[in-house]
């Protein structure tokens, strides 16, 4: 199963696609989408949506996962992050994909083992779990971590479903 992970942001949205077969994971692709800060907010959101559509069309994931919003000290930044996250949810859901949503602490715990991990630790563990990946930066590493978290949750749900049957 191909899973798209997204780490949304208005300035930079990280994305990563993995192949998951049970507990086996493989890297497919990763990158980031940057929007021009000189553009008006609506134009930036349209650009983000268009570029996410290109990623979705190119890789054809069967599932998607998006990191939830964390609250910044600056309320304006939190609102912009929420709007970018909404675009990410819309882009995947419009194609009929079920979209998992994960809090940053849960992603860190799933990938590193502790919810208080820093970005370097997340990046290092993603590189260890996907050794062939050439990671395009911190946002792409976070997006791959979100995809890995979703893969683990899907595998756990299937295992629970099998044992209940």
* pLDDT tens digits along 28-61: 999 999 999 999 999 999 999 999 999 999 999 9
**Residue 70 is part of which domain span?**
2-164
Looking at residue 122, what is its pLDDT? Answer: 94
The answer to whether residue 77 scores a pLDDT higher than 70 is yes
pLDDT confidence of residue 123: 94
CA distance 60 to 132: 21
- Angle, helix 104-111 to helix 138-164, in steps of 10 degrees: 80
Please report, for residues 1, 4, 55, 86, 162, the alpha-carbon distance to residue 60 in angstroms, rounded to integers and kept in the order given. 10, 9, 8, 20, 27
The larger pLDDT score, comparing residue 160 to residue 62, is at 62
Number of domains in the chain: 1
Residue 29: CB atoms within 10 Å = 18
Owner of token pair 């998006």? 66
**For all residues of the chain together, what is the average pLDDT?**
92
Which residues are bridge partners to 21 per DSSP? 24
Interhelix angle for 119-129 vs 138-164, to 10°?
60
Give catalytic residue positions. 7, 67, 139
CATH code, domain carrying 132: 3.30.420.10
| Span 81-88, average pLDDT | 95
Tell me the per-residue pLDDT of 104-144, one tens digit each, with 9 for 90 and over: 999 999 999 988 898 899 999 999 999 999 999 999 999 99
């Amino acid at each position: 199963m191909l899973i798209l992970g997204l780490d949304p942001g208005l300035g930079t949205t990280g994305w990563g696609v993995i192949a998951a077969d049970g507990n086996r994971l493989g890297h497919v692709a990763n990158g980031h989408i940057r929007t021009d800060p000189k553009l008006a907010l609506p134009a930036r959101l349209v650009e983000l949506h268009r570029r996410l559509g290109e990623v979705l069309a190119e890789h054809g994931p069967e599932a998607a996962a998006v990191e939830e919003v964390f609250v910044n000290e600056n309320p304006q930044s939190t609102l912009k992050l929420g709007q970018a996250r909404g675009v990410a949810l819309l882009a995947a859901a419009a194609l009929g994909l079920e979209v998992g949503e994960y809090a940053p602490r849960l992603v860190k715990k799933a990938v590193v083992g502790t919810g208080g991990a820093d970005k370097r630790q997340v990046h290092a563990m993603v590189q260890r779990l996907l050794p062939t990946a050439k990671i395009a930066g911190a946002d792409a590493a976070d997006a791959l971590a979100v995809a890995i978290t979703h893969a683990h949750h899907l595998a756990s749900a299937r295992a629970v479903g099998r044992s209940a049957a």
